[in-house]
Structure 1
Amino acid sequence: MPKNEEVPLAPSSTRVTPLRPAAVPLQQSGKQALQAAQLAEVEWLVQQGSLSTFRTFQSFGYSASLMFYPRELIYYAVLYHEGAVWRVLKAGDIDAAEPAFRHFVEQAMRLADAEMRRAHLEAQNEQFSRLIAESEAQIERVRVDLHRGGEQDQEVALKQQEVRKALAQLDGRRVPAQTQLNKLQRQRHQLDATINESVPHLPPIR
């Protein structure tokens, strides 16, 4: 090897730091703009207080929410049943999340329709039961009044019958009594006339 020939130096080794896995942003357009999310994912974020509620809807035991995760710029459309997370869709932009939220609202309204009808029918049946009870009570009061009125009618009829009987008896006694009275009055007049005939006629004193 010639002395003047330089030996090439070996390249110094470079230390490479591995990159941490970064959050992959959701697609901003196309079918992949809206993705299904795990229920536990949203439940954990809610427990941590990391989500901001943009919109919410509730009807009976069904509700829907549109929430935003500021740290990752992710929107969540969530459907609840009786307060528990039921369905979750997520998107990286509001334009994709809004239709998902409206879809959940329509689903909640459709599911709550039966609850609405049941509540209305229950209230209507309660009203019918109350009106039936009031009508039965009113009918019973009328029956009592009729019964009491009938008893009074019977009492009045008996009283009138007794009065008519008494009148007939009194009238029956009145006729012979009147005849006897007339006879006695004639006898008295005759006696008075006889007595008056025995009275002397005296001249008046002058």
Structure 2
Amino acid sequence: MNSNNTTRGGALVLAWFVLCGAACAAGPTAPKQSSTPVADALGDSSVRRSLLTNGAADEPQATVNGNVADLQQMIRDGRVKELRTTYNGSYGASLLFYPDEMTFYIALFQQKKFWRVVKTQVDSRAETIYADFAKNSAALADTEIRRTKLEAEKNFADRLIAVQQGRANRLQADLDVARTQQSQVADRQAEQQEAIRSLRAEQDAAQAQLRALQTKVQDLQRQSDVDMMPLPK
């Protein structure tokens, strides 16, 4: 394989990845393929050295012997170079190269644990296995990714529900105030109408009394006028 396919800081990236790199630790994400090793995003060299020294490559996995253990040791020794890496959620696949023996290591992983590691000196076989592992990682991450999307959709729906519930509560409060005020206004109107009827009855009674008094006054006036007339001789 052309050495131009190797990328700067590959060994450091892989050590970082094995120890649960940022892309895996961040949780499920949409499938993506890295065009450059993740080491390029790790920042300054002191950070990379710290990740390499204290990373998961120093943590033994269930497989004590075999390709997994060999690859872990080579990562610790900084003898392999990362050529390709694919991430799908918390799963992924890596193609690594050991130039001293012209050997390729193809790893399937989940978060910071290697799952399967295959080694070969055949370039085309390495690429085929890597493609299969990358495809497997996509299939394995499918439920994880769908769960992440569904959780996001549910959370979004919950936020919309909360917003609409708040709006409904405000509208209900306004409606309650309006209904209370309307009831008070109706009661006030009824009181006013009753007062008007009462005052109208009182006014009618007063008018009747006034007319009666006016008639009485007229009668008394006539009687007075008659009494004041001179007596016939």
**Superposition TM-score tier, normalisation by shorter sequence:** 0.5 to 0.7
Sequence identity percentage: 32
Q: Report the CA distance between 1:52 and its aligned residue.
A: 1.0
Distance 1:48 1:178 in 2: 119
Partner of 1:172: 201
Deviates more, 1:97-106 or 1:124-133: 124-133
Match of 1:162 among 191, 199, 210: 191
**Higher helix proportion (structure 1 or 2):** 2
Separation of aligned partners in 1, 2:214 and 2:91: 109
Moved more, 155-164 or 176-185: 176-185
Give the match's secondary structure for 2:161: helix
Number of the residue aligned with 2:94: 65
User: Which segment drifts farther, 159-168 or 129-138?
Assistant: 129-138
In structure 2, the partner of 1:128 is 157
Alignment of 1:98-113 (within 5 A): 98-113=127-142
Match of 2:116 in 1: 87
TM-score scaled to structure 1, two decimals? 0.67
How far apart are 1:185 and its partner, in Å? 7.0
Deviations 1:24-65 (A, max 9, x none): xxxxxxxxxxxxx61011001111111111111112211111
SS in 2 for 1:77: strand
* Equivalent-residue separation in structure 2 for 1:50 and 1:181 (angstroms): 124
Between the aligned partners of 1:159 and 1:130, the Cα distance in structure 2 is 43
Name 1:49's counterpart in structure 2. Answer: 78
Q: TM-score, normalised by structure 2?
A: 0.60
Question: In the alignment, what sits opposite 1:150?
Answer: 179
Greater relative contact order, per chain length (Cα 8 Å cut-off, separation 6+): 2
Cα RMSD over matched residues?
2.5
5 Å-filtered alignment, 1:10-29, equals none
For 2:106, the equivalent position in structure 1 comes to 77
Alpha-carbon contact 2:67-2:119 (below 8 Å) kept = no
Paired residue type of 1:116: I
Compute the displacement of 1:146 (Å): 2.7
> Quick one: distance in 2 between partners of 1:123 and 1:96?
39
**Shift, 1:102, TM fit:** 0.5
